[in-house]
Amino acid sequence: MNRGLIGRYETSQIGGEHVRAYIPKPLPPVPFLDLTGARQVLLEQALLALGRLDSVSTLLPDPHLFLYSYVRKEALLSSQIEGTQSSLSDLLLFELEEAPGVPQDDVTDVSNYVAALEYGLERLREGFPLSNRLIREVHAQLL
């Protein structure tokens, strides 16, 4: 089965660095998406839910505080996959340099998840491209 070329490589300069990126051919769905009937109802429900979330976010006194808590909760859930026994209160105590009620290593692992995420987001804000190098840097922060 010969499908031919399905993309191309392009070299560009981002953040003062030359990078090679693979650019796939556009992928139009075949057959085209049918956004009628049940799918249209689901799409409308999703848009309404996003609108509700957007309106609730305007009521928050400090959206950054919400994101602060959300990032830490996500770090806890991710680290629990690997068997850590830490809670949000343990992590907050650790960040306040208090003694958490679980092994120090578990809380440190969760704290590393948070630090790695914040590091990666900061690098992206600085204009660094999403790349294997960035993923390796974030992984180094995690470890």
Q: What is the pLDDT of residues 20-67, one digit of tens each?
A: 888 888 877 777 888 899 999 999 999 999 999 888 888 888 878 888
**Mean pLDDT rounded to a whole number for the chain:** 84
Position 138 in a domain = yes
Residue 15 lies in a domain: no
Q: In this structure, are residues 129 and 19 in contact, taking their beta carbons and an 8 Å threshold?
A: yes
d(CA 108, CA 51): 37
Q: What total of structural domains would you count in the chain?
A: 1
- 53 lies in some domain: no
Residue 69 domain flag:
yes
Res. 12: pLDDT tops 60: yes
Domain that holds residue 85: 62-142
* Segment 91-117 mean pLDDT: 80
Quick check: is 12 in a domain? Answer: no
Query: From the centroid of its chain, how far is CA 24?
Result: 23
Q: Quick check: 2 pLDDT over 70?
A: no
pTM of the full predicted structure?
0.59
Instruction: Please tell me the distance from the alpha carbon of residue 114 to that of residue 108, in angstroms, as a whole number.
Output: 10
Q: Does residue 50 lie within any of the structural domains? A: no
Look at residue 110 and tell me if it is in a domain: yes
User: Residue 29: inside a domain, yes or no?
Assistant: no
